[in-house]
Structure 1
Amino acid sequence: MTAAHGAPSDLTARLGLEPGARAIILNADDFGMCRAANRGVVPLLEAGHLDSATLMVPCAWAPEALAFAAGNPAVDVGVHLVLTSEWTSYRWRPLTGAGTSLVDAAGYFPTQVVDVETQATEADVAAELTAQLDAALAAGVDVSHLDNHMGSVYGLATGRSFLGPVLRLAAERGLPFRLPRSLERLEDTGVDPGGSNAQQVLDTATAAADELGVVIVDRLWTHPFALAGEGTDDVESYEDVKAGFLDLLRAVGPGVTEIFLHPMVPGDELTDAVDFAAPKRGYEARLLADPDVAATIAAEGLVRVAWRDLRAVQRGER
């Protein structure tokens, strides 16, 4: 299962795909974060424009998202494991309470990944992430996989990761985890790769995942999180964002690449909740339903798969 650096793993073969297949997972992050997220993600899941979504269990609009996922078992929904709360005016707290190492002075998750890495204890992280997964399962969600909000478990800010408890949880529950084998395009995700030894850290983590039998992807891609030129006359348009996304699709190589976006419905709620890039979240909702995206996927011969397919591989169901 371990691939040479820069080469895809054997995951496409394990999925039963042709040699050299270029497989993608179109995933929506931040499901349940706010009503605008739910209103963006649900229609895209229902229409088949997304392959999966990942749900932020501690957030205010998670109950609506959990109820949708439980009531629509055919859709692929994972848990977006949360240890940060990044916005100024809209915050959320741990399920395990405010009396732990997981909160800032106001009792919320910290805004920055570096604060998680420097102050959180492994025991508190393990308890909180288990609680988030258990809450989704208790709500009736057929959880397809785990991933992580803002890369807060990867150790890319200071080198101190929480991948040990995450991978153990994924192995125990038979769930794949969003850990890329390559740092390729990682800067576009908004995650700081963490210096010159970052690939070595990632190689160690992927070896641990392979040892535990946790299925991971070859690459993790998105486009830049921010809206270029926001607040200026040179702000990028929908057509600019779309052109960049189509180029990203054309650049996908052999193996399994997750491409994640944050589709949300623009409006006052979203603008009030987030500090920047609210228009881009609206562009992403529009983008995923754009016929030109579907046409490019078809023209490139990209094969769409879902995290539930990877879960079946991990559980020996394929």
Structure 2
Amino acid sequence: MRLICLPILLFAAGAIYAQQPSIASRLGYPDNARLLIIHADDLGMAHSENQASIIGLENSPVNSASIMVPCPWFPEIAAYARSNKQADLGLHLTLNSEWKHYKWGPVSSRDAVASLLNKQGYFYATVDSTVQKAKPGEVELELRNQVKKAYEAGIDVTHLDAHMRAALSTPEFIAAYMRVGKEFGLPLLLPRRVLEYDHPEINALFDENTVLMDGIHTVVPEDYRKGPEKYYDSLMKNLPPGLHSLQIHLAYDNDEMQAITVDHPDWGASWRQADFDYFTSDAFRQLLEAEDIILVTYRELRDKISRAE
């Protein structure tokens, strides 16, 4: 029976999506609209990250961000979220601690999620190590507890996404991630390619409230070295119709960020300053207007799709 059910479930997952109106139409836009979320990652990681991201959210086209609950500067951004209920703030669900000297661990008790931790009691620095050693059940427990802690801190969580895409790195982790999102009625940063997985747990979680991204974009080291503005300009000019998320990182190139990102030039302090400079510029605002790109938020996706009855 199982060999028969798997393709049926996969077909059913795709069929559900094929039969649904487009995300654009469900949000009230034409089917051929180019919809974009400009999303700042890593809030809660550092004071510099929080402050630059807040400026971006309040004074630029950056319209969404996500918070790392286990990180040292979580209380500061949680306080901001409580005072700014309109802000589109989700959670950057965190399973890794990648910097050389700046570390964090789980919000769950360490004995309950021991497979997620290295010998020093921190999350692993690399996703590869997490994939090799983490138990899916413990991944799910930690993800759920991060959401619970955010709600306990008074954050009106609008969505979930995955730091370093660790929660998207195996089918079992994806299923855990999707279950947590469904439990709290939250849209996920989830690529359309998950429809291709022949995995019963994933397939069983699709329904009419599932949101899939047509494109998830971020500048990578090769493009950054050519000039990040070239990548971003090209992306805006060539963005196809559909729902897209652009993942960026805003912070200041100051002593704090330089110390945190030491020996880690990619996604480091100067990289984050470059993102801040680009996305808060008048030139970027003008480019968005010229390209007729429609900015949407996860709050819209949550309230009109993920929690639709």
Same fold per superposition (TM over 0.5): yes
Counterpart of 1:314 in structure 2: which amino acid? S
Structure 1 residue 59 and structure 2 residue 50: aligned? Answer: no
In structure 1, the residue matched to 2:3 is none
Structure 1, unaligned stretches of length 5 or more?
Answer: 183-197, 230-235
Structure 1 residue 223 and structure 2 residue 222: aligned? Answer: no
In structure 2, the residue matched to 1:185 is none
In structure 2, the residue matched to 1:210 is 206
Instruction: Report deviation, 1:9.
Output: 7.6
Instruction: Report deviation, 1:204.
Output: 8.1
Residues 302 and 311 (structure 1), Cα distance of their counterparts in 2 relative to 1, 3 Å cut:
same
Residues 41 and 119 (structure 1), Cα distance of their counterparts in 2 relative to 1, 3 Å cut:
same
Counterpart of 2:241 in structure 1: which amino acid? P
8 Å Cα contact 1:9-1:255 kept in structure 2: no
In structure 2, the residue matched to 1:115 is 129
Instruction: Report deviation, 1:91.
Output: 0.8
Counterpart of 1:30 in structure 2: which amino acid? D
Runs of 4+ aligned structure 1 residues displaced above 3 Å come to: 1-5, 198-209, 225-229
Aligned 1:203-282 pairs, distance under 5 A: 207-211=203-207, 213-225=209-221, 228=224, 240-274=227-261, 275-276=264-265, 277-282=268-273
The residue matched to 1:129 in structure 2 has which SS? helix
What whole-Å deviation, never above 9, does each CA across 1:273-311 have from its counterpart, x for those lacking one?
012232110011111111111111111110000000110
Query: Take 1:202 and 1:269, find their aligned partners in 2: how far apart are those partners?
Result: 45
In structure 1, the residue matched to 2:54 is 42
Query: Take 1:33 and 1:285, find their aligned partners in 2: how far apart are those partners?
Result: 16
In structure 1, the residue matched to 2:6 is none
Structure 2, unaligned stretches of length 5 or more?
Answer: 1-12
8 Å Cα contact 1:23-1:302 kept in structure 2: yes
The residue matched to 2:181 in structure 1 has which SS? helix
In structure 2, the residue matched to 1:85 is 97
What whole-Å deviation, never above 9, does each CA across 1:220-257 have from its counterpart, x for those lacking one?
0111157855xxxxxx5xxx322221111112111100
Query: Take 2:220 and 2:200, find their aligned partners in 1: how far apart are those partners?
Result: 27
Residues 306 and 127 (structure 1), Cα distance of their counterparts in 2 relative to 1, 3 Å cut:
same
8 Å Cα contact 1:29-1:261 kept in structure 2: yes
Residues 204 and 300 (structure 1), Cα distance of their counterparts in 2 relative to 1, 3 Å cut:
farther
Identical aligned residues as a percent: 31
Instruction: Report deviation, 1:101.
Output: 1.1
Query: Take 1:253 and 1:207, find their aligned partners in 2: how far apart are those partners?
Result: 27
Please report the TM-score for the alignment, with normalisation by the length of structure 1: 0.84
Query: Take 2:215 and 2:16, find their aligned partners in 1: how far apart are those partners?
Result: 13
In structure 1, the residue matched to 2:8 is none
Structure 1 residue 310 and structure 2 residue 297: aligned? Answer: no
Aligned 1:166-185 pairs, distance under 5 A: 166-182=177-193
The residue matched to 1:256 in structure 2 has which SS? strand
What whole-Å deviation, never above 9, does each CA across 1:58-78 have from its counterpart, x for those lacking one?
000111011101110011000
Structure 1 residue 301 and structure 2 residue 292: aligned? Answer: yes
8 Å Cα contact 1:78-1:143 kept in structure 2: yes
Moved more, 214-223 or 85-94: 214-223
What whole-Å deviation, never above 9, does each CA across 1:135-191 have from its counterpart, x for those lacking one?
111111110000000111112xxx454111211111111100001114xxxxxxxxx
Aligned 1:195-206 pairs, distance under 5 A: 200-201=196-197
Query: Take 1:38 and 1:119, find their aligned partners in 2: how far apart are those partners?
Result: 31
Query: Take 2:242 and 2:183, find their aligned partners in 1: how far apart are those partners?
Result: 26
The residue matched to 2:40 in structure 1 has which SS? strand
Instruction: Report deviation, 1:89.
Output: 0.8
Counterpart of 1:53 in structure 2: which amino acid? A
Instruction: Report deviation, 1:211.
Output: 3.0
Instruction: Report deviation, 1:203.
Output: 9.5
Counterpart of 1:215 in structure 2: which amino acid? V
Query: How many pairs does the alignment contain?
Result: 288
Query: Take 2:71 and 2:187, find their aligned partners in 1: how far apart are those partners?
Result: 23
The residue matched to 1:147 in structure 2 has which SS? strand
Residues 203 and 50 (structure 1), Cα distance of their counterparts in 2 relative to 1, 3 Å cut:
farther
Please report the TM-score for the alignment, with normalisation by the length of structure 2: 0.86
Counterpart of 2:86 in structure 1: which amino acid? A
What whole-Å deviation, never above 9, does each CA across 1:33-60 have from its counterpart, x for those lacking one?
1111011101111224211100000000
Query: Take 1:263 and 1:207, find their aligned partners in 2: how far apart are those partners?
Result: 35
8 Å Cα contact 1:179-1:206 kept in structure 2: no
